Amino acid sequence: MYTIKDVALKAGLSQATVSRVINNHPYVSEDKKQAVQKAMVELGYVPNSSAQRLRNIKTKKVAVLISRIVNPFFSQLVDAMEQKAAKHGYQLILCNTRISPEKELDYFQLLQSKQVDGIILAAAENKWEAIAPYTKYGTVIYCNEYDPNATVTRVRLDQVEGGYIGTKHLLDKGHRKIGYCQGNDSSVSVNRRKGYLKAITEAGIEPNPEWMFKDVFTVENGREIFRHIATMDNPPTAFFTGSDEVAAGMIKEAQLNGWRVPEDLAVVGFDDQPIATLMDPQFTTINQFTSNIGEKAMEVMLEIIEKKRENKAEDILLPLELIERQST
Amino acid sequence: MYTIKDVALKAGLSQATVSRVINNHPYVSEDKKQAVQKAMVELGYVPNSSAQRLRNIKTKKVAVLISRIVNPFFSQLVDAMEQKAAKHGYQLILCNTRISPEKELDYFQLLQSKQVDGIILAAAENKWEAIAPYTKYGTVIYCNEYDPNATVTRVRLDQVEGGYIGTKHLLDKGHRKIGYCQGNDSSVSVNRRKGYLKAITEAGIEPNPEWMFKDVFTVENGREIFRHIATMDNPPTAFFTGSDEVAAGMIKEAQLNGWRVPEDLAVVGFDDQPIATLMDPQFTTINQFTSNIGEKAMEVMLEIIEKKRENKAEDILLPLELIERQST
DNA sequence: TTAGGTATTGAAAACGATTTCATAATGTTA
DNA sequence: TAACATTATGAAATCGTTTTCAATACCTAA
């Protein structure tokens, strides 16, 4: 492990001069600059980043909090973020909260102890009041999820709209008994439900609590929901699932039980993942242009870190689009 | 931002004592310990990790190099790693190399500049000779991929076996014209091909280069391969695809073109992802217990970092299992 | 009592960079 | 030529920790 001292010694110059060369400061003569660079290459010198940070250099790291990376939505989101970050010389620290508020909050130590320049919250189990104290240690923004009280930038979608267009589509197809699934009570879910309720209420339909399900996340959960409704006397004829995984599981299980899709059960997914065009029938879903969201969020984060943008309460809304296929 | 000095001042003690409390050193009287802890809580003090690192404390970070997180295999691998790491108080830095040898090598600066304690190579575009010089800066191990010359631990599968059992299964079903797909020329692919060739050679079949494809990664690639073989005078009747995505794309496209699976084309995937049981027909694939691999790799990494294990040339082989379904 | 251990504490020296300040050399203008 | 600005360099302070070293207090056994 060579240090700046070794380089200085080898080049016959002072540490200060070497540091100036490293940081591209003005006022270093060309010949000394060459000498320093030569010495650095010969020793294979790389600055110790901890020492640099101690002098208030940026960490060039951003943490992203998500519930779980195995969810394809988050994979894609993180992929887009990483790509953008890498382009600017930043690294991504992956933090899976697994929907635990404690774990989520723990990760803010990364900010406090100066291990990251900022945190992108794509999971939000904690109230803004719990998060706010940490904002003095670095940049915090929301992505996809958010808390209405937050005083920072929120890159997200109009999920009310998302819930609305999905449900409206089923209504337009003539359905009156429309089921609804969501994950946990996140901002995304709360808003989608608003949209769902708005659509059916507009159509003069009374919401049926028996057709509304919570904590539904996976393919397997989708299968379970189907098995549940199959036992009902008066099951829904259509479902807004809020997730392509759930839609996939529901459709598959329905078929295995001899139900036809969409004739016996129409299903709308969410996210337009590859699975949506691979199953038979290919299914209707809502494209939320996940990569765009991730890219935009990281772009905003980097702009704020580099003082090119102010981090104020602001919603940056990205588009949604219904894609009609054969499941509805 | 409070420092150890502030805590010392507030507690009326020296920095040394505070540091001893933080690090659980012996020889601190109970009352001073209480006083220090009280002061820390009151100030909301958190140690500056850069300063700690400068004194050769571990970074408690591990970088994992993969080609791309959107590949479900890698999502699951990374998820398992993160879970294991978090349990031991370590964080994961996600590095997508996008199959670029330069990008891959760049990430080793993280080791050199002491930003991570170790690197798990789940992508290996570079020769071991290029990687080796960095091993003096921290722990490096391979996971899944590897270079035969590497002198470090390799957590992986017997991919020769993987290629063999997949192909053998198709032979047992009576196929004689068996196609083969792989990604780039990684160790995984090279070994799987060996297994494929071993199986068909054993069966007295001459390999046909026209039925062997490279750089096939995605669902879309799978579709393309089908469209290609559909134009052949003498197409294969079965495929070992080396990937569930490719298998999914191939099956779907075949069906869209009126081919029956498995009657007109039998397909074996690889990885047993959810998609394998969602499509119709559910398809035969090879379960490589991805979570196990990731968990084991991280376990080994942490043991080496914490000096409980030696990092020597050693293969840790994990099991594979063929799962027969309706596509063969 | 005394010698020799064992706890308990703090001052000060690291760790490896950046930056301030002082100084020297050089150029520029009147 | 004098006065002043500009360029170029290094010594030393600094960032916030950990750790060494020395000093002190307290026990215990002879």
**Among all chains, which residue has been given the structure tokens 């879309």?**
B220
The pLDDT assigned to B136 comes to: 87
| pLDDT tens, residue by residue, A165-180 | 999 999 999 999 999 9
The pLDDT assigned to B114 comes to: 86
Distance from CA of A218 to the nearest CA of B (A): 10
In CATH terms, are B4-54 and B61-157+291-318 the same topology? no
| pLDDT tens, residue by residue, B280-320 | 999 999 999 999 999 999 999 999 998 889 999 999 999 99
The pLDDT assigned to A253 comes to: 96
Q: pTM above 0.85?
A: yes
**Domain coordinates in residue numbering, chain B:** 4-54, 61-157+291-318, 159-287
Residue B84 near residue B297, CB atoms below 8 Å: no
Q: Between residues 238 and 257 of chain A, which touch chain B (CB distance below 8 Å)? A: 245, 248-249, 252, 255
Q: Does A60 touch chain B (CB under 8 A)?
A: no
Q: How many percent of chain A have pLDDT more than 90?
A: 89
Contacts of A86 in chain B (CB under 8 A): 96, 103
Q: Is B293 exposed, middle or buried (0-12, 13-18, 19+ CB in 10 A)?
A: buried
Q: Does B88 touch chain A (CB under 8 A)?
A: no
The pLDDT assigned to A55 comes to: 86
Write out the DSSP string of A275-306.
HHHHSSS--BEEE--HHHHHHHHHHHHHHHHT
Residue range B61-157+291-318 in CATH 3.40.109.10: no
Candidates B47, B51, B219; nearest CB to A278: B219
B313 SS3 class: coil
Picking from B152, B111, B143, the residue whose alpha carbon sits closest to that of residue B124 is: B143
Q: How many percent of chain A have pLDDT more than 70?
A: 100
CA A234 to chain centre: 37
Q: Between residues 161 and 180 of chain A, which touch chain B (CB distance below 8 Å)? A: none
- Report the run of H or E that residue B191 belongs to, with start and end: helix B187-202
Spatial distance between the Cα atoms of A51 and B203, rounded to a whole number of angstroms: 62
Spatial distance between the Cα atoms of B177 and B239, rounded to a whole number of angstroms: 9
Chain mean pLDDT for chain A:
94
| pLDDT tens, residue by residue, A99-141 | 999 999 999 989 988 899 999 999 999 999 999 999 988 999 9
Distance from CA of A73 to the nearest CA of B (A): 9
The pLDDT assigned to B321 comes to: 97
Whole-number distance in Å between B172 CA and C24 C1':
87
Report the nucleotide nearest the CA of residue A1, measured to C1': C16
Architecture of domain B159-287: 3-Layer(aba) Sandwich (3.40)
The answer to whether the CB atoms of A219 and B274 lie below 8 A apart is yes
pLDDT category at A306 given cuts 50, 70, 90 is confident
The answer to whether the CB atoms of B114 and A49 lie below 8 A apart is yes
The pLDDT assigned to B27 comes to: 85
Mean pLDDT of A303-325: 94
Picking from B71, B59, B12, B58, the residue whose alpha carbon sits closest to that of residue B38 is: B12
Candidates B54, B75, B279; nearest CB to A50: B54
Phi, psi torsion values for A212, nearest 5 degrees: -115, 125
pLDDT category at A192 given cuts 50, 70, 90 is very high
Residue B194 near residue B167, CB atoms below 8 Å: no
The pLDDT assigned to B280 comes to: 92
Residue A196 has pLDDT above 90, yes or no: yes
Residue A290 near residue A308, CB atoms below 8 Å: no
The pLDDT assigned to A104 comes to: 94
* β B321-323/B285-287 pair status: antiparallel
Write out the DSSP string of B244-296.
HHHHHHHHHHHHHTT--TTTT-EEE-SS--THHHHSSS--BEEE--HHHHHHH
**Among all chains, which residue has been given the structure tokens 């969409």?**
A262
CA A44 to chain centre: 38
| pLDDT tens, residue by residue, A133-142 | 999 889 999 9
* β B178-181/B238-240 pair status: parallel
Q: Tell the CATH superfamily of the A61-156+291-317 domain.
A: Response regulator (3.40.50.2300)
Spatial distance between the Cα atoms of B269 and B242, rounded to a whole number of angstroms: 6
The answer to whether the CB atoms of A69 and B50 lie below 8 A apart is no
Spatial distance between the Cα atoms of B19 and B3, rounded to a whole number of angstroms: 11
Residue B215 near residue B225, CB atoms below 8 Å: no
Write out the DSSP string of B88-149.
TT-EEEEEE-TT-HHHHHHTTHHHHTTS-SEEEES---S-HHHHGGGGGGSEEEEES---TT
The answer to whether the bond into A262 is cis (omega within 30° of 0) is yes
Mean pLDDT of A239-267: 97
Q: Taking the CB of residue B129, how many other CB atoms lie within 10 A of it?
A: 10
The pLDDT assigned to B301 comes to: 96
User: What Å distances lie between residue A287 and A295, B215, B240, CA to CA?
Assistant: 16, 28, 32
Give the right CATH number for B4-54 from 3.40.50.300, 2.60.40.10, 3.40.50.720, 1.10.260.40: 1.10.260.40
Residue B240 DSSP one-character state: E
Q: Does B95 touch chain A (CB under 8 A)?
A: yes
Spatial distance between the Cα atoms of A126 and A107, rounded to a whole number of angstroms: 12
Residue B239 near residue B264, CB atoms below 8 Å: no
Residues 6+ apart with CB under 8 A from B82: A69, A94, A96, B92
Mean pLDDT for each 10-residue chunk of chain B (328 residues)? 90 92 88 92 91 85 95 95 94 93 93 92 96 92 96 97 98 97 95 98 96 96 97 97 96 96 97 94 97 98 91 96 97
Q: Which positions in strand C are less than 7 Å from the protein's CB atoms?
A: 7-20
